[in-house]
Amino acid sequence: MSTYDSSIRIDSGRLWRSLGELGEVGAYFDADADLRGVRRLALTDADLAGRELVVGWMRAAGLTVTTDRIGNVYGRRAGVDDTSAPVLIGSHIDTVATAGRFDGCLGVLGGLEVVRTLNDHGVSTTRPIELAIFTEEEGVRFGTDMLGSAVAAGRIELDRARERSDPDGVTVGAELDRHGLVGEVAVPIRPPFAYLECHIEQGPILAAAGTRIGVVRGVQAITWLELQISGRAAHAGTTPQRLRRNAGLAAALITVRLNEMVESGAYGQMLATVGRQVNYPNLINIVPERTLITVDLRNHDGAAMRRAEDDLTAYIAEVEERTGVTVAARTTARTPPVVFPQGMRDLVEKHAANLGMSSDQVTSGAGHDAGEIAALCPAGMIFVPGLYDGISHNPREYSTPEACADGVNVLLHAVTELACTAR
């Protein structure tokens, strides 16, 4: 084993090949994008196949692999002082149903590339380094995002997490048991020394400015709601307006109001999305009896988020009054804004500068496991630019091999510095 050398670099070809290989697991042809996309929803057979591939690579890189009670995987590279708290690198490999190859996978495979590079150069570190794959980061199957890292960090209790079910009624617990993913590591996990995650930006800022590295300030607040709107089914041709209780109309009113709230500017940098809408019976000549909509709210400012939630609740009552429907609202996810410690941001910025890369501070629009692990230890993130306006959660998501390598080289040096820190 030799000492650390600041001139070492990752093998960008190997990183790119790994991203490509994992991207074939759960691949499908997306006719709208005219591209191959990835569909690896959490705890499905495809997710399992992805995990098996990556865990095989972890073992081949000499990592000791363990699993916690919610199926998060940890691959450990021993440190010289192996009893000291590890530096944790992590992200997720579960995807939305229409994904590209980068979201989450860059963080996990970038962490693996860090380990492979340290191995190639015979670098030993004082602290152990662990590489985590977190369960159900996306939240699209079981309805709440960052589920695995939230359990690891203690925000969500294990039993509550296991009870969550997908639209077919299959629970997280049943899937963990079916796949043999309930491991020995207790949750909440023991606090790591520090946590770092490399991720595609998933937005337009870095590419538009020609900036190579995003130093992530923090993660904005996220609230997810599910609104079950109940009206009355009726014949479209014979039911006069005054006798209608149209659930679809109520959904439309709420959707338009959310857009008006965003455009009013009265709630800071709010974003609102109605991403899922299901009508029943969903037929051309029947007034919808029931409509389910989801509401995704984002805001940099936690107080503005709460005001928006309160004002939406008041508006929903108005819609009930006006249309005669009833609305049952359920909050399925709620995370406050997270600010990463200045020291972690400085570390990322310093290593970007040492490597001759431009960098700028950005606040993450997307949710990330780093936002959860920040409750346990100093956490930070490194963003790399994505092309095509930063499109993500879509097969068009793309970051160049050079941009991915930039982010992982910064990860390599920042992690190595942390892992060589005695206390």
List residues near Mn ion by CB under 5 A: 103-104
Pick from Mn ion, ligand GLV, none: which does 417 bind, CB < 5 to 8 A by kind? Answer: none
Q: Which is nearer to ligand GLV, 37 or 248 (CB)?
A: 37
CA distance 9 to 406: 10
Over the window 347 to 366, marking each residue x when it contacts ligand GLV by CB under 6 A and - when it does not, the resulting string is: -------------------x
In angstroms, what is the minimal distance from the CB of 187 to ligand GLV? 21
Q: Give the 3-state DSSP-derived string for 178-196, with helices as H, strands as E and coil as C.
A: HCCCCCCECCCCCCCCEEE
In angstroms, what is the minimal distance from the CB of 145 to ligand GLV? 5
Q: Which is nearer to Mn ion, 261 or 410 (CB)?
A: 410
Q: Note the helical H segments in 121-183.
A: 147-153, 158-163, 172-178
Q: Which is nearer to ligand GLV, 221 or 287 (CB)?
A: 221
Q: Which is nearer to ligand GLV, 128 or 367 (CB)?
A: 367
Q: Which is nearer to Mn ion, 74 or 134 (CB)?
A: 134
Told to check if 87 binds ligand GLV by CB under 6 A, we report no
Number of neighbours of residue 376 by Cβ within 10 angstroms: 20
Number of neighbours of residue 236 by Cβ within 10 angstroms: 11
Pick from ligand GLV, Mn ion, none: which does 367 bind, CB < 5 to 8 A by kind? Answer: ligand GLV
Told to check if 367 binds ligand GLV by CB under 6 A, we report yes
Using CB under 6 A, pick the residue from 145, 369, 397, 406 that binds ligand GLV.
Answer: 145
In angstroms, what is the minimal distance from the CB of 93 to Mn ion? 10
Using CB under 6 A, pick the residue from 68, 113, 138, 406 that binds ligand GLV.
Answer: 138
Q: How many residues bind ligand GLV (CB under 6 A)?
A: 4
Q: Tell which residue, 371, 392, 384, 389, has the closest CA to residue 410.
A: 384
In angstroms, what is the minimal distance from the CB of 12 to Mn ion? 21
Tokens representing 235 are 């014949």
Q: For the chain, what's the residue count?
A: 423
Q: Which is nearer to ligand GLV, 87 or 370 (CB)?
A: 370
Q: Which is nearer to ligand GLV, 145 or 417 (CB)?
A: 145
Provide CB contacts within 8 A for 160, sequence distance 6+: none
Tokens representing 386 are 């994505």
Pick from ligand GLV, Mn ion, none: which does 68 bind, CB < 5 to 8 A by kind? Answer: none
SS3 of residue 236 by DSSP: coil
Number of neighbours of residue 102 by Cβ within 10 angstroms: 25
In angstroms, what is the minimal distance from the CB of 393 to Mn ion? 6
Told to check if 197 binds ligand GLV by CB under 6 A, we report no
Q: Tell which residue, 22, 345, 103, 63, has the closest CA to residue 214.
A: 345
Q: Which residues are paired to 392 by β-bridges?
A: none
Pick from ligand GLV, Mn ion, none: which does 145 bind, CB < 5 to 8 A by kind? Answer: ligand GLV
Q: Quick one: how many helices (H) and strands (E) in the chain?
A: 12, 18
CA distance 360 to 209: 9
Pick from ligand GLV, Mn ion, none: which does 289 bind, CB < 5 to 8 A by kind? Answer: none
Q: Tell which residue, 90, 85, 108, has the closest CA to residue 192.
A: 85
Do the bridges between strand 338-339 and strand 271-273 make them parallel or antiparallel, or are there none, so unpaired? unpaired
| Contact present, 115 and 71 (Cβ < 8 Å) | no
In angstroms, what is the minimal distance from the CB of 224 to ligand GLV? 9
Q: Which residue type sits at 309?
A: E
Residue whose Cβ sits closest to Mn ion: 104
Q: Which is nearer to Mn ion, 107 or 128 (CB)?
A: 107
Residues in contact with ligand GLV by the rule CB under 6 A: 138, 145, 366-367
